């Protein structure tokens, strides 16, 4: 078992599923979701986004490097009477080959090398919901390595090939005790062919 899998398995063994909820970019913009279709929860962890998408009637696939997280997601899905195709996956560009989704959700995960592969896996008119940590933060929640933190406006640049539907990043403007802080939100739609 590689070191990365061990790291995430340890984290998910120590964490409690109930402490995780679906990303706000998804729940606060649920009205944008198609009534039917195929969705991917990328780097799903315990799968809060996957569970939410399945509750909305979508056929859901969920990928994560941690087999512990995937096993816990399968239990949650079964308990809730939901069908989710949860798979342990070391997510790489090749993971997206021959895949296509109406919706992709990425929450608190950043691998810039996957941007084009993610865009390529979205069907025409499909949506990308993305929410992750910023470099400009009010506290030290999330990773400290800048490789896993967004620069200002970076989501818009990484996914510039998509039509911008929604973007939010309050950064350090105004009353930092209010509003979404420490994370940026993005929704983009793939242009129809």
Q: How confident is the model at residue 145, as a pLDDT?
A: 84
Which domains does the chain show, CATH number per domain?
3-189 (3.40.50.150)
Asked whether the predicted pLDDT for residue 193 surpasses 80, the reply is no
User: 51 — phi, psi (to 5°)?
Assistant: -60, -45
pLDDT on residue 13: 86
**Gap between the Cα atoms of 187 and 95, Å rounded:** 22
pLDDT in tens, 115-153: 999 999 999 999 999 999 897 776 777 777 888 888 889
Among 39, 50, 107, 38, CA closest to 82: 50
pLDDT, position 154: 95
Q: Tens digits of per-residue pLDDT, 98-125?
A: 899 999 999 999 999 999 999 999 999 9
pLDDT at 87: 96
* DSSP track, the chain: --HHHHHHHHHHHHS-GGG----HHHHTTGGGS-SS-EEEEET-TT-HHHHHHHHTT-EEEEEES-HHHHHHHHHHHHHTT--EEEEE----GGGGTT--EEEEEEES---GGGHHHHHHTEEEEEEEEEEEEBSS-SS--S--SGGGSBPTTHHHHHTTTSEEEEEE--TT-S-TTSS--SEEEEEEEPPP-
């Amino acid at each position: 078992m590689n070191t990365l899998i061990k790291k995430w398995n340890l984290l998910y063994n120590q964490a409690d599923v109930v402490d995780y909820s679906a990303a706000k970019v998804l729940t606060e913009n649920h009205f944008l979701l198609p009534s039917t279709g195929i969705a991917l929860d990328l780097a799903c962890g315990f799968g809060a986004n996957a569970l939410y998408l399945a509750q909305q009637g979508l056929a859901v696939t969920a990928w994560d490097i941690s087999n512990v997280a995937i096993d816990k997601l399968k239990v949650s899905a079964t308990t809730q009477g939901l069908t989710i195709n949860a798979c342990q996956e070391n997510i790489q560009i090749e993971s997206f080959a021959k895949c296509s989704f109406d919706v992709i959700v990425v929450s608190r995960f950043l691998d810039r090398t996957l941007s084009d592969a993610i865009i390529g896996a979205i069907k025409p008119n499909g949506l990308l919901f993305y929410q992750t940590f910023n470099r400009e933060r009010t506290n030290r929640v999330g990773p400290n390595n800048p490789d896993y933190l967004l620069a200002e406006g970076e989501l818009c640049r990484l996914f510039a090939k998509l039509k911008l539907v929604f973007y939010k990043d309050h950064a350090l403007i105004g009353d930092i005790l209010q509003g979404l802080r420490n994370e940026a939100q993005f929704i983009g739609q793939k242009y129809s062919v």
